Amino acid sequence: MTPHVAEDLNDVTLFERLGGPAGIRRIVDGAVAAHMENALICHRFAPYADQPERVEEIKAHTCDFFAAGSGGPDAYDGRSMRDAHRGMDIDAAEYDAAAGDILRTMDALRYDVETCAAVGEILQSLKPEITHA
């Protein structure tokens, strides 16, 4: 009898590896909390500190985008990253700080190296759409 072998990572979507909606929500909650404490980018989030409904709206859109982009079952129908960040004048250092917060959150939540690397690649692919030239 052959022992049960875990599914090959190629047979499981990133969405599933992230834990579906609940796992993505944990990442987003942790990352937003980290953004609010990150000296390089907290000024972008400080205006929303006393607007929990606006923070929740941002989190919900982020979760939807993250889920769709990681192979989740639902299509994303929100604004493009370029449109959502238009006029914000986000520079590369700020983007890298935000991406770092996401990856550190995933590390703290004990995601495996391959899953973190896959998210890191996605984050790097989005950088030109979000940062100013």
User: Which residues, in sequence order, are CB contacts of 109 under 8 Å at separation 6+?
Assistant: 23, 26, 27, 30
Separation between Cα atoms, residue 77 and residue 110, nearest integer Å: 30
Q: Which of 101, 118, 111 is nearest to 14 (CA)?
A: 118
What residues are designated binding site? 61, 85
Token code pair at residue 126: 């989005």
Token code pair at residue 114: 């391959």
What residues are designated binding site for heme? 61, 85
Separation between Cα atoms, residue 17 and residue 111, nearest integer Å: 8
Contact 88, 44 (CB under 8 A): yes
